[in-house]
Amino acid sequence: AAKETGRNGYAFYTREMTERVILAASSDREVRRALAEDELVLFYQPQISMETGRLEGMEALIRWRHPVRGLLGPAEIIPAAERGGFIIDIGDWVVAEACRQIRRWRECGLPPIRVAVNVSAQQMRNGRLLRAVEGALAETGISPDSLEIEITESMLQNEEECIATLHALKGLGVTLAIDDFGTGYSCLSSLKSLPIQRLKIDRAFIQGIPGDLNDMAIAEAIIAMAHRLRLSVVAEGVETEAHMEFLRALGCEGVQGFFHARPMPASDVPDFVAGGITDSRAPRRR
Ligand code: C2E
Ligand code: MG
Ligand code: MG
Ligand code: MG
């Protein structure tokens, strides 16, 4: 529908769409077909350095260019793929595609861009993620430190295999981040022993700033703890100048959210890097 098409000519999916879609959730078979027919794509959302105001990385977020329903988000893809047992195939594709994109951006003359990818718990098993990362690094020849892997706290629960995978990934030179920090079942002791470089504060805690004293206390405590552990922090869901001010005062290193940019197709990234992308709905500061 026309109102779902952004000014840059591509569609955004909105919360209403996500909710509507729960009723019409896609079947495993449809998602498998989408993967086979190359309908899955990665969008990229900038992560901005608080210190310099410049792009320091991108998070790759999966989308489905559905021939009839338009642009669909992860909720339409990931649960079906986990159910259908092919989340690992999708995960392999995401890693390979992100690495190819890093290389394409290099080839068109952009400065090195780090890309973070999300992974599912099943990928941590049987060395699958490790093989995908090794294969993609070898195929593309990109520098390993331009790839970041985002895991969630729940993956770390008593998962020896997961922990071994993290050490092996670190050994390859890949960066590791904990996503949605503060919303899972945290095991704080794992933070001191795991080869993690970054924490991402879940946007649930950012949304209440300013005003919600509990959210502010939690965000502040996470940042202070991370810094004492020599981890850097990225805040997710940064939407307003008030969020920026609060996070800047606490020394949060990176910010990601609609304040700076929505997830965008890879083809928009060169313009964004050049300062040319304007998102009419987000005030910009660059
Ligand atoms: P996530 O990894 O925590 O990703 C951040 C989500 O927050 C993204 O939603 C992004 O579009 C959204 N977001 C970013 N800035 C803002 C903001 O300022 N305000 C608000 N309200 N939202 C913001 P998205 O793309 O729908 O992804 C949802 C989740 O799906 C991700 O959460 C991640 O857990 C999962 N996901 C996405 N791509 C992949 C993938 O390739 N593989 C796997 N396994 N999971 C994925
Ligand atoms: Mg993430
Ligand atoms: Mg997150
Ligand atoms: Mg999240």
pLDDT digits (tens, 9 = 90+) for 246-280: 999 999 999 999 999 999 999 999 999 998 554 44
What is the Å distance from ligand 4's center to 152 Cα?
A: 9
CB-proximal residues (5 Å) to ion ligand 2: 118, 150, 179
Q: What is the pLDDT of residues 128-142, one digit of tens each?
A: 999 999 999 999 999
pLDDT bin (cut points 50, 70, 90) of residue 11 is low
Does the structure show a pLDDT above 80 at 52? yes
- Please work out whether the CB of residue 179 comes within 6 Å of at least one atom of ligand 1: yes
The residue whose CB lies within 8 Å of the most ligand 1 atoms, and thus the one to mutate among 118, 119, 259, is: 118
- Cβ–ligand 1 distance for 236 under 6 Å, the answer yes
Question: Using CA positions, which residue lies closest to atom 46 of ligand 1?
Answer: 118
Stated pTM of the model? 0.90
Check if the beta carbon of residue 141 is closer than 8 Å to that of residue 103.
yes
Whether the per-residue pLDDT at 42 is higher than 50: the answer is: yes
Nearest atom within ligand 1 for CA of residue 200: 3
**For position 126, what pLDDT does the model report?**
87
DSSP bridge partners of 66 = 70
Distance 116 CA to ligand 2 centre (A): 8
Whose alpha carbon is nearest atom 27 of ligand 1? Answer: 74
Task: Judge if the beta carbon of residue 10 lies within 6 A of ligand 1.
Answer: no
pLDDT in tens, 69-108: 999 999 999 999 999 999 999 999 999 999 999 999 999 9
Average pLDDT, the chain: 89
Residues, CB-to-ion distance under 5 Å, ligand 3: 179-180, 236
